[in-house]
Amino acid sequence: MTQYLVQRKRPWCATVILSGGLLASGAAAVSPSRPDESRTAPPAPDEGSTPEPTLLSADPILAALVVEAMASNPAIASARGSADAAGTRPPQVSALPDPVASIGLLNSGRPWPSSGADRLVEATVVQPFPFPGKLALAGKIAGLEARRQDAWVARVRLSVTAVVRRAYARLLVARENLRVVDEQRWNWIAIEEVTRARYKAGMGALLDLLRAQTEVTRVEQARFGEEARAASSQAELNRLLGRPMGTPVPETEGLAPIADRPVVLPELLKLLALGESVCPELLSANLAVDRSRAAIDLAKRSRLPDFVGTARYMQETHEASWWGGIFGVSIPLNDPRKQRQAVAEKKARLRSEEAAREDLQLRLRAATERAYGGMSVALRRADSYAHGILVQDQLAVEAAMVSYRTGSVPFVSVLEAHATQFADQRSLFELLADAVSKEASLYEFSPGDADAAPRAADSPFAPAMPASMWETPR
């Protein structure tokens, strides 16, 4: 297990202290005007606890959004309804067939009642009896299918949770970028005042003043883009939570807590083991294998005869009553073409389900490794920005401003230094948001569906769940 502790050294940069030996992590950069507020870091999870997403674990707004989505998302309610419906199937298929009751009349003479002297009234009840064990196996198969529907509910819940986290990460990075844009605007306004004073004193060129004014206008364009991005992410969250249009998401400290608390990444092997134990697709595949084995047993029992019992009661006019019973047995005369082929079909289905389960295990392992690697790389790159690139950017800005005031460098040097600093600050927040998104995908425990083989038509996971079902295209 690797722990990453980020400590602030200056109001405009961050430094990372690594303890452990697995992967580097990320840090966050703070812009010049942001106050350096101290926050209490939550304790790291216990060694024996189940790993959970940690990058935004201290964000109460995200926790509330996830809870609300679990209660209000219509896709979860739909999946739960399908699971409830499937849960009613086992008692239906394991019950005896309904008996058939009939009543008949035999009359002598003309074909209408009371036209003849002799008349026979007959009542019959017929009850089929499948061979012992067939109904129990049918109920077992239906019960396994109902449990597969429960696994589908778990998949929807995990996917909705991951999509909420990713949408929230996009909202946070848009808000962080808006703060950076505002700071960038005030800095350019201050630079514009410097260039105006130099121009009035005859020490600067009009072009420098115009370039500074252009950057102020350019910042407004960047604000429009980030506002649209924030609105899109907020609309996505409202959709996932079933909220009315325009419902705002409260402001939080954003991505800054990632820079102020320990970030604990579980070991990859533990995540792989956890994924195999909770992945709904894999749980469904295990149930599908059990269902196929039960279907083989049922197909073999189809070669055994079923029974039918008939009870009869007859009453003749002015004569004694009669009663009796008939016992019938079905004869599987078409066994070579029907029952044996059914057994062969179920065995082939079992081989298919076992191969599909192995394919799911491999795809889940690859998806976990990709998400884990992407998250680790994003944190490493954020670390490089936080205590490397942004430190150098700040030194370059200070040097450029000092040199410009003395007239030793042209205004374009100041322009490039400030533009690079703000671009790197935004890149840092993009990387932190990407790390949050990769972590959400990591704990989604989804094997992915890009190269998935077609599933059986009766599978709750068929066809493979498209990403567009959960996330609005951006």
Mean pLDDT calculated for residue range 309-328 = 85
Mean pLDDT calculated for residue range 144-166 = 93
Mean pLDDT calculated for residue range 277-303 = 93
CA dist 470 and 449 (Å) reads 14
pLDDT at 459: 52
pLDDT in tens, 330-374: 888 888 888 889 999 999 999 999 999 999 999 999 999 999 999
Mean pLDDT calculated for residue range 312-340 = 84
Model confidence at 30, pLDDT cuts 50, 70, 90, reads: very low
pLDDT in tens, 88-121: 999 999 999 999 999 988 776 666 655 556 778 8
pLDDT at 461: 54
- 315, pLDDT greater than 80: yes
pLDDT at 109: 63
Q: Choose between 56 and 229: higher pLDDT.
A: 229
pLDDT at 456: 43
- 187, pLDDT greater than 90: no
pLDDT in tens, 66-84: 999 999 999 999 999 999 9
pLDDT in tens, 399-434: 888 887 777 777 778 888 888 888 888 888 899 899
Model confidence at 1, pLDDT cuts 50, 70, 90, reads: very low
Model confidence at 48, pLDDT cuts 50, 70, 90, reads: very low
pLDDT at 385: 85
Mean pLDDT calculated for residue range 255-271 = 75
Model confidence at 58, pLDDT cuts 50, 70, 90, reads: confident
pLDDT at 321: 79
- 276, pLDDT greater than 60: yes
CA distances in angstroms from 373 to 14, 177, 376, 377, 378, listed in the order given: 23, 25, 5, 6, 9
pLDDT at 422: 87
pLDDT at 361: 93
Model confidence at 386, pLDDT cuts 50, 70, 90, reads: confident
Model confidence at 469, pLDDT cuts 50, 70, 90, reads: very low
Query: pTM for the full model?
Result: 0.76
Model confidence at 467, pLDDT cuts 50, 70, 90, reads: very low
Average pLDDT of the chain, as a whole number: 79
pLDDT at 419: 84
- 50, pLDDT greater than 50: no
